[in-house]
Amino acid sequence: MKIGVVVFPGSNCDHDAWYAANNNLEQQAEFIWHGSSDLGNVDAIILPGGFSYGDYLRCGAIAKFSPVMAAVKRFAAEGGPVLGICNGFQVLVEAGLLPGALVRNEGLRFVCRDVDLEIGTANSPFTHQARAGQRLRLPVAHGEGCYVADEAVLDQLEREDRIALRYIDNPNGSQRNIAGILNEGRNVMGMMPHPERAADRLMGNTDGLVILKSLVSSVAAYAAPQLSTANI
C-alpha cells in the first residue's frame, strides 16, 4: 500500500512518519507538499506532528487553509483513512474533520515524555489489532494538547464509542482523559501521542506498531475484495 505523509511548513515529524511507514511497516510512503491539491494514488494519509505555519494564531488554524486539506477532506469523505498525530490532530480539529478543540496544557507547560494510555475502542481501522483496555506507553511532545469539548460532544463520543485512546496518567488536563478520537465515519483519527516514535526496536519501544499495523491491515482488507472482483 502507499501512505501519503503531508508536509506543512513547520512539520518536524514528517520524516519520522515516513521512516515508520517504509522501514517498520515495510510499505511505500511518499511526502505530499501542503500546496498540492492532489493526493495522488495513496491508500492512507498521515498528518504528522510539528508546528505547521509556526503555530501562529492557533495550532493548525492556518494549515486548515492549505490546498492539500481540501484534498484530504475529499479523501476522508470517500472513506479514505486519515491519521492525524499531535499537530496533525490539531489540524484535523481546526479543519472540522474532528470535533472539539485542543488548547494549552494544564499548567501551561510543554510536556515531552512517555505516557501510559489505554485503548478506548478496538472498533476502528486504527485500533482493531488491539483490544479495548489494552495498555500502551507512547511519547508525547506538545504544549497545546489539552482536549476540550462541550458536554454534549463528550457524551456523544462516549455513546458512539469514538474515544480511541485515553490517558492513564493525563499529562495535559484533557477532558475525560481523551488522548485520541474518531470521526463519525470512524475513518479519521486524531491522537496526541506519537506512535511513529515507538515503532522500532532500536528505540526500545514498539507499542506504537499496534496503531500503525492496524491501519495497514485495514486498508489491505478493504482492497482485497476489490482486487478479487476485478480479476474475475
Query: Which tens digits make up the pLDDT trace of 158-196?
Result: 999 999 999 999 999 999 999 999 999 999 999 999 999
Catalytic residue among 13, 34, 59, 86: 86
> What ranges do the domains of the chain cover?
2-230
Q: With contact defined as beta carbons under 8 Å apart, do 147 and 100 qualify?
A: yes
Q: With contact defined as beta carbons under 8 Å apart, do 139 and 198 qualify?
A: yes
Closest CA to 88 of 45, 49, 34: 49
Q: With contact defined as beta carbons under 8 Å apart, do 219 and 81 qualify?
A: yes
Active site residue 194: yes
Active site residue 34: no
DSSP class per residue in 38-70: ---S-SEEEE--B-GGGG-SSTTTTGGGSHHHH
Please, what is the average pLDDT of the chain?
94
Active site residue 94: no
Residue type, 161: D
135-142 and 111-119 strand pairing = antiparallel
Q: What is the pLDDT of residues 95-131, one digit of tens each?
A: 999 999 999 999 899 999 999 999 999 999 999 999 9
> Domain 2-230: which topology?
Rossmann fold (3.40.50)
Give the span between the Cα atoms of 141 and 132, in whole angstroms: 25
